[in-house]
Amino acid sequence: MFSAVARQLLPAFRAMIVMTLLLGLAYPLVLTGFAQVAFSDKADGSLVRQDGKVVGSSLIGQSFDGLPQYFQSRPSAAGDGYDPLASGASNLGPENGDLLAAIEERRTAAAELDGTAPGQVAPDALTASGSGLDPQISPAYAEQQVARVARERGMAAAAVRRLVEEYTDGRSLGFLGEPGVNVLLLNLALDRASGKAD
């Protein structure tokens, strides 16, 4: 009886070893190698470098709070803010008191920072994205910030507006999603244009 069981278990064990080596080791190594050759920048996380130093990723937002010379990012509900290990929304419903209070607090802060009427504050200045990691803001939110950034940097508003236009991405495939402005890339371009990295 033992030999009959062994005859069935031995092929199953060999198949498990072969499939583990093929699908658990060889396949991931081949795909990783292909990605490194064909799409090395994307495979490494779309890292953004300045002066040879990694300053972020073009795929993950980051905070510029307390730095009025920079464009501000969309609020984040991911962990303590822009934490890629805690990606997610706040999961608060549209009538939740905490969410409504946070929106009003953000509206007041954004209006005060940018010199905008509270009713004119762009929606993405008020709410976090679904992932909490969105690296982009809407062109409307970027336009809201142009005058402040230009003033803080001693630049002409028209020059700042040109940079915003340059770093505005259109809709994917021409019709999917909405245009967006990558905040990190725009802020680095501002540093280069104004000749200073604050």
Q: What is the pLDDT along the chain (198 residues), one digit of tens a residue?
A: 667 777 888 888 999 999 999 999 999 999 988 888 887 777 777 888 888 898 888 888 899 999 999 999 999 988 888 888 888 888 888 899 999 999 999 999 999 999 999 999 999 999 988 888 889 999 999 999 999 999 999 999 999 999 999 999 988 888 888 999 999 999 999 999 876 544
For residue 1, what pLDDT is reported? Answer: 62
150 Cβ contact partners less than 8 Å away, ≥ 6 residues apart: 156, 157, 159, 160
CA neighbor of 133 nearest in space, from 91, 85, 178, 170: 85
Half-sphere exposure of 15 (CA within 13 A, CB side): 5
Q: For residue 156, what are the CA distances in angstroms to 35, 152, 162?
A: 42, 10, 10
Q: Which residue has the tokens 């609020």?
A: 75
List helix spans (H) across the chain: 2-19, 27-38, 40-43, 97-114, 139-153, 157-166, 183-194
Please state, rounded to an integer, the average pLDDT across all residues of the chain.
Answer: 89
- Say if residue 45 is exposed, middle or buried (CB neighbours under 10 Å; 0-12, 13-18, 19+): middle
DSSP code of residue 119: G
CA neighbor of 142 nearest in space, from 66, 78, 70, 60: 70
What's the pTM value of the predicted model, to 2 decimals? 0.78
